[in-house]
Amino acid sequence: MPAPSPLRRLATSAAICLALMGTAHAATGNDTVQLQVDATAKGTPLPHFWEQMFGSGRAVLALRDDYRKDLEAVKGATGFSYIRFHGIFDRDMGVAYRDAQGKLQFNFSYVDQVYDGLLERGVKPFVELGFMPPELSTDPASHHDFWYHPNVMPAKDWNEWDAMMRAFLQHLVERYGIEEVRSWYFEVWNEPNLAFWGGKPEQPTYYELYDRTARVVKSVDQQFRVGGPGTAQAAWLPDFLKHVKQSGAPIDFVSTHVYGDDTADNVFKTNEKIPRRDMVCRAVDKSHKEVAASPFPKLPLIYSEYNASYANLPNVTDSVYMGPWMANTIRECAGKVDMMSYWSFSDVFDEQGVVRNPFYGGFGLIAADRIEKPAFNAFAMLHKLGDVQLPLKTDSALATKRSDGTVVLALWNYTPPLGNTADYTPGVPTGATKHFDVDVKHLGNASQATVWRLDETHGNAVSAFDKMGRPNTPSREQIKQLREAGKLSAPEQAKLKNGKLSIDVPAQGLVVVELH
């Protein structure tokens, strides 16, 4: 993680009360929350499912220096283990070609450079098997409308697809060793229910792709992990799992995607208005129940893409809004999903073209020019949570405990984003300050609290960018200033009084507290 910025002014609250007991209720006013926590209460496991994997721009971008530096920064902040991206077989990766006689040949030199770069930085591939090399495609001229134009058509000869898959997997084993590759995941394609799959009709042609690919994966090694369908909008899971049961194709995990602004009509086939704060975990709950009711009730559920928005909304993904949104997502999704992959770790990303402004609403935790966004600081702060969740009935806090007994709390003040379009809406987050009275029982000799903050005036590079006039191409000096402004603010220190602490959190603010 980067060096902290100068120490911020210590909060003037007389006491900081944090309590862990299984009950929490509104106190004297609508904006006051009283938390009672018992540090010795029996909790539930809280594996850090939200930060084990991240998405990224397409495969070839992993060769860039700024991509790799951003990867190191996010690895340092979260300790994440896996990364997923599109396009490992795209034309710019040079995997498939035909010799002078028209015979299909393979070249994995760029694949090696991509995977070597990940592994050298302590990150493993979550391999999305796609898209289609033009040399194999039923229609080499048919492209998805992403800026880099991947080919998403089926293979004209499935035997050639099988041969490429087998050669790819055998090469991975030769280069990285069987035990290493057994620790990876292999996901068949991306969002076949949208324009990323050109087979017609979609489901049966994807099922053929899945069955063939999964069988090739297992033919190379029975312990390789393969799954799908990687659908958008939490779609297809019951039908897909029913098909796999009938076909006998292997499956080790089930995967799908959802975003905070997906509609209820698309995800649930209803006319509800589901708020951005709840959509992701409502979908996770749906998928969790579908897997439990399927022929594979114990199958791991992986959300291999999620975020607050699938669009470029600068008041959402660039802003401090992401702190409360992420904290609430952890609270709502806990216990229902095995792994979630935030899309994406970096704005080294070009699906809509080359970045024209560092804060355009990109999906990444780090903006262009290696400027850490508020979302990066949110992940860094929430990484501090323990691996046991203590009982707490509130929609504005989490109480956790680490293996050494340290209690860690997350407190937040969720309010909607200021704007909901591609055009940035300037301004300070609106809404009342939320006051937390925390009372933690059975803390032993703990008397010290360390408090990290993310809000409009803490860890927020966007505020500094606004003051600069939001230049499309900041100068080198401005980039230096923005990097400094984006750093996680140094923590405050506070004294506990009989296990009690009081803390104020402004609108769209996130606070993480360690009790020592």
User: Which residues are identified as catalytic?
Assistant: 191, 305
Strands 407-412 and 397-401 come out as: antiparallel
Q: Which helix (H) or strand (E) holds 436?
A: strand 434-441
H-helix or E-strand spanning residue 324: helix 322-333
Whole-angstrom distance, CA of residue 345 vs CA of residue 109: 25
Write the secondary structure of 45-89 as one string of H (helix), E (strand) and C (coil).
ECCCHHHCEEECCCHHHHHCHHHHHHHHHHHHHHCCCEEECCCCC
At 63, list the tokens.
């060769």
**Tokens in use for 202?**
């979609």
For every residue of 438-490, DSSP letters joined together read EEEE--TT--EEEEEEEBTTBS-HHHHHHHTT--SS--HHHHHHHHHHTSPPP
- From CA 47, how far away is CA 425, in angstroms rounded? 36
Please count the helices (runs of H) and the strands (runs of E) in the chain: 12, 23
Q: How many CB atoms lie within 10 A of CB 136?
A: 23
Rounded distance between C-alpha atoms, residue 182 and residue 283, angstroms = 29
Helix 158-176 to helix 202-220 angle, to the nearest 10 degrees? Answer: 40
